[in-house]
Structure formats: structure tokens, C-alpha cells
């Protein structure tokens, strides 16, 4: 149906200004298979710059508190008009700005406001490339509960793309059944790229960003970490979920179901190989024992102790029911014979700590109950761990040499990852010592 098409998604920093647009056009023009393009809104041009998406959220807040639209929208307008001018395009977004102003005055929602960054950037990019612009609201859909509707999207978007050999489809948003706009969560253009790749039956999803692929650890924490050449969907899922920010945590699902590989590439160094994300790594043996390290702060532990807890029928069920009733989702639940610790995102406790404590005490009647804040979780992930003995021991040794206290340990039965809970203050140090233990020391051995 589609001749060897590639879907290319460009992140905000790749499209931050006219200079970056030129790099993007060179990349697209270098390969005739790069026919579907998914842009983000313009991102930061320098470290303390503001992303257009954030400017739009600010604009929305300002207008709902009574400020004039034209004034609140000015910073957004300047970014786009600057790009158009510097690219020397003869197009204008004037009519679009008027329409957005009217929509704001008619009570358009916050998601609509945020989505205009991708929308307007898509119009400029399509004009610059000579590609057709396809509004994501015409092909990407949510159901009435606000969940992404994969079946309808695949059918509608597939039909549109079949008739459109080259198109720009803006990232980050789609339409609700009533036609209103809804966005994915932040960073969601990665997800759009994956959705488009599936609908187009693409041979490859290229995700262009500002790093040469997935690195073993966050480059803001570890100095010049090693790159990862090949990673499996499952490994990537673990790392993205645990905060490795390169790719949105849901972005692998659409392409995974269609067996389409993802290649993470660097717009500023297009010849670098980047990282290839594949369904299975049968032909790609792991280079190191571990593939990556990622982590997140802001967790709390609900710690419950009760003698003979394990002989009390239905104890866990009742406790989990209380959490569910409060909309709390347990991330991990290490248990002992007489203890259970439930690790949760701290923000989920906001405004309901006292009530939750009271309910859990009523239901569990514990000997000891405590909520401990300030926990960070670190995931050490790797397909190479499965067959190797002693990986956990090395993680613990690295942490204990650095005098870091381990508050929780969890290893999944798939043996793909080990998760440790530590004090937030030790977070960066812990990532660095684990990196040194597995990557630096193996490099010296090689």
C-alpha cells in the first residue's frame, strides 16, 4: 500500500528557530523515503528560553484572568513571525491568529491553547518543505472518556495518508468526539509520531532530537555517558517510565504493535548512528551487562507493620481497595512477613494524607503506620542481566561504597531490571556510582 515510507518526528529544540528549520529540511530532503513529518512546537533556543508550549499555557492563564488576547498572545506570535521572516517565506499566519483569538474569546479550552504551538509550526514547516499540511484533529481521535482511540485513528489517519504522499502532521494533539481539542501529556509529539508511523505502515520511525540517541544515563547527571546502539522495546519502556526523558513513555506502543523499529537521531549531528529500538535483540548482543540507568524523585512510602499480617485473609485486598478509592496507584509493593511498604508518587497524596491515613488505620489496624517522604527510585535495566549472576550484588556494592543507604529493593521476575529506593539527596550520586561500576569498570576491563 505505502512504498517504504519513513515517519520523521522533530522535537522542539530541532525546530526552535529558522537555523534549525534549515537543518530539518536538509535531513528530510536527503532521503526520499522521509515522507511523513511530525513537528513539535518550537522549543528552547538557549537554556533559559521558554518553549512555545509554555508561552501558550501562560497566554491561556492570562486571558482567562481578563487580559486582552492580542497582548497575551504577542510572545507566541513573535516566535512564529520570526521564523517565517528568517526563512524568507511569503506565507503569513495572520488569518490563523485571528481565528485563534476568536476561539479563545468563545471559550476554547486549555488543551486547545497548548496545541496551537504544534499546529502553527506544522503550517510553517509544510509550506517550507512543499508538503501538504494535515491537521491532527482530522485524523487522531480520543474516545468520550478522553482515552486515545487507536482503532478509529488508525482507520481515519490511514485513509488520509493513503491519499497524501507527503504530509506534515502536527504532534501533541487530536480531537475529542465532540470536535474539541485534546492534547497528550507533555512530550506527547513522540506519541503522535508513533501513531502516524503505524497508520502509514511505515518501515521506520525516526525520532530526531538534540542528543545522538539514548545514552546509558541522563547526560545532565553523568558527564558524557556512553551511547546505546541497540535497545529493545521492553528495556526502553522501563527506562522511559523511570524518567529517561528522551522518548515519551507511551510512544513505543503504537509502533510495537506494528513491529516498526524506532531510530533516535540527532538533528545537530545527523550522521551519528543514534539508537535503534527493536522488538527483540536476538541479533544484537548486549554491549554491557546493563543497558541503561534512569530514575525519578518524589516518591513516598506508606509503611505498615502488623504481627501475623500474612495469615490475615484479604488483608492486602482491603488495603489496596482503600488506595484505589483514593485514586492512588502503587508503583511498588515490597512485602515482608509482617510488613508491607507501598511506594507511591508523593503528589498522589496531596490533600488526602490525613483521610487516607485514617482509613488505612481503620482497615488494617496496624501495629505501626508511617508515611515516609523524599524517596527516589532508580532503575538499572538490561537484557544482559538475565543470564548473568551477581548484577544485584554489584549495584548494592556500588551504593554501599558510596555510603548510600538502600531503602527498598525490587527485582521483577523478568530479570530485566533492578529497582532501588534511596534518599532523594543521594539521587545523582547513586546514578553516577552505578554508571561507574557497570560502564567505566567494564570499559577498563575490555
Binding site for ligand ADP (CB under 6 A): 11-14, 40, 43, 187, 209-211, 214-215, 217-220, 244-246
Number of residues that bind ligand ASP (CB under 6 A): 14
> Minimum distance from CB of 223 to ligand ASP (Å)?
26
From 6-14, 191-199, 230-238, 282-290, span contacting Mg ion (CB under 5 A): 6-14
189 or 391, CB closer to ligand ASP? 189
Instruction: State the Cα–Cα distance between residues 419 and 246, nearest whole angstrom.
Output: 20
Say if strands 368-381 and 417-423 run parallel, antiparallel, or are unpaired.
Answer: antiparallel
190 or 238, CB closer to ligand ASP? 190
12 or 274, CB closer to ligand ASP? 12
170 or 187, CB closer to Mg ion? 187
> Minimum distance from CB of 213 to ligand ADP (Å)?
7
Q: Where does 236-363 show beta strands of DSSP type E?
A: 262-266, 275-278, 292-305, 339-345
> According to the binding rule CB under 6 A, does residue 41 interact with ligand ASP?
yes
> According to the binding rule CB under 6 A, does residue 232 interact with ligand ASP?
no
Instruction: State the Cα–Cα distance between residues 326 and 348, nearest whole angstrom.
Output: 9
Binding to ligand ASP, residues 8-37 (CB under 6 A): 11-12
Residue 198 — left, alpha, or beta (φ > 0 → left; ψ -120 to 50 → alpha)?
A: alpha
> Minimum distance from CB of 201 to ligand ADP (Å)?
24
- DSSP label at 225? P
> Minimum distance from CB of 224 to ligand ADP (Å)?
11
| Cell 509554555 -> residue | 54
Number of residues that bind Mg ion (CB under 5 A): 2
53 or 300, CB closer to ligand ASP? 53
> According to the binding rule CB under 6 A, does residue 171 interact with ligand ASP?
yes
Task: Specify whether the CB–CB gap between 35 and 66 falls below 8 A.
Answer: no
Q: Please name the residues in contact with 159: beta carbons below 8 A apart, sequence gap of 6 or more.
A: none
SS3 373: strand
> According to the binding rule CB under 5 A, does residue 187 interact with Mg ion?
yes
> Minimum distance from CB of 43 to ligand ADP (Å)?
5
Instruction: State the Cα–Cα distance between residues 333 and 319, nearest whole angstrom.
Output: 12
Instruction: State the Cα–Cα distance between residues 341 and 301, nearest whole angstrom.
Output: 6
Residue 319 buriedness (CB in 10 A; 0-12 / 13-18 / 19+): buried
Residue 186 contact, options ligand ADP, ligand ASP, Mg ion, none, Cβ 5-8 Å cut-off depending on partner type: ligand ASP
Instruction: State the Cα–Cα distance between residues 133 and 119, nearest whole angstrom.
Output: 9
Instruction: State the Cα–Cα distance between residues 177 and 230, nearest whole angstrom.
Output: 39
From 83-91, 109-117, 137-145, 185-193, span contacting Mg ion (CB under 5 A): 185-193
Q: Please name the residues in contact with 355: beta carbons below 8 A apart, sequence gap of 6 or more.
A: 326
Instruction: State the Cα–Cα distance between residues 142 and 146, nearest whole angstrom.
Output: 5
> Minimum distance from CB of 363 to ligand ADP (Å)?
39
Q: Which of 36, 59, 97, 117 binds ligand ASP (CB under 6 A)?
A: 117
Please give the residue ranges that form the binding site for Mg ion (CB under 5 A): 11, 187
Please give the residue ranges that form the binding site for ligand ASP (CB under 6 A): 11-12, 40-41, 51, 53, 117, 171-172, 186-190
Amino acid at each position: 500500500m505505502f512504498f517504504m515510507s519513513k515517519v520523521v518526528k522533530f522535537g522542539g529544540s530541532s525546530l526552535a528557530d529558522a537555523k534549525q528549520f534549515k537543518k530539518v529540511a536538509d535531513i528530510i530532503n536527503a532521503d526520499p523515503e522521509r515522507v511523513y513529518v511530525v513537528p513539535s512546537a518550537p522549543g528552547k533556543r538557549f537554556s533559559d528560553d521558554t518553549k512555545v508550549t509554555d508561552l501558550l499555557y501562560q497566554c491561556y492563564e492570562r486571558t482567562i484572568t481578563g487580559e486582552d488576547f492580542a497582548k497575551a498572545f504577542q510572545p507566541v506570535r513573535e516566535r512564529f513571525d520570526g521564523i517565517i521572516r528568517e526563512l524568507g517565506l511569503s506565507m503569513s499566519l495572520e488569518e490563523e491568529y485571528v481565528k485563534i483569538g476568536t476561539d479563545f474569546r468563545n471559550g476554547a479550552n486549555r488543551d486547545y491553547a497548548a496545541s496551537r504551538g504544534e499546529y502553527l509550526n506544522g503550517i510553517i514547516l509544510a509550506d517550507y518543505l512543499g508538503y501538504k499540511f494535515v491537521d491532527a484533529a482530522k485524523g487522531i481521535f480520543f474516545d468520550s472518556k478522553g482515552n486515545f482511540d487507536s482503532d478509529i485513528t488508525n482507520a481515519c489517519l490511514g485513509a488520509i495518508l493513503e491519499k497524501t504522499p507527503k504530509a506534515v502532521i502536527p504532534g501533541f494533539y487530536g480531537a475529542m468526539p465532540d470536535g474539541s481539542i485534546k492534547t497528550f501529556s507533555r512530550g506527547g509529539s513522540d506519541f503522535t509520531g508513533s501513531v502516524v508511523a503505524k497508520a502509514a505502515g511505515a518501515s521506520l520511525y525516526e525520532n530526531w532530537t538534540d542528543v545522538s540517541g539514548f545514552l546509558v544515563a541522563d547526560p545532565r547527571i553523568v558527564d558524557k555517558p556512553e551511547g546505546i546502539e541497540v535497545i529493545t522495546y521492553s528495556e526502553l519502556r522501563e527506562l522511559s517510565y523511570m524518567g529517561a526523558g528522551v522518548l515519551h513513555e507511551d510512544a513505543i506502543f503504537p509502533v510495537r504493535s506494528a513491529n516498526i523499529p524506532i531510530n533516535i537521531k540527532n538533528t545537530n549531528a545527523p550522521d551519528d548512528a543514534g539508537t535503534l529500538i527493536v522488538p527483540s535483540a536476538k541479533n544484537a548482543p548486549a554491549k554491557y551487562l546493563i543497558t541503561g540507568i534512569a530514575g525519578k524523585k518524589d516518591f513516598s512510602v506508606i509503611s505498615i507493620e502488623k504481627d501475623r499480617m500474612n495469615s490475615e485473609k484479604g488483608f492486602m485486598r482491603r488495603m489496596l481497595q482503600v488506595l484505589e478509592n483514593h485514586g492512588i496507584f502503587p508503583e511498588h509493593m515490597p512485602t515482608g512477613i509482617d510488613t508491607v511498604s507501598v511506594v507511591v508518587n508523593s503528589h498522589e497524596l496531596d490533600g488526602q494524607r490525613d483521610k487516607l491515613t485514617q482509613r488505612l488505620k481503620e482497615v488494617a489496624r496496624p501495629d505501626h503506620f508511617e508515611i515516609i517522604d523524599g524517596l527516589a527510585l532508580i532503575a538499572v535495566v538490561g537484557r544482559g542481566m538475565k543470564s548473568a549472576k551477581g548484577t544485584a550484588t554489584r549495584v548494592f556494592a556500588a551504593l554501599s561504597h558510596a555510603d548510600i543507604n538502600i531503602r527498598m529493593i525490587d527485582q521483577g521476575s523478568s530479570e530485566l531490571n533492578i529497582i532501588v529506593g534511596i534518599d532523594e539527596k543521594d539521587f545523582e550520586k547513586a546514578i553516577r556510582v552505578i554508571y561507574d561500576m557497570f560502564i567505566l569498570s567494564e570499559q577498563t576491563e575490555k
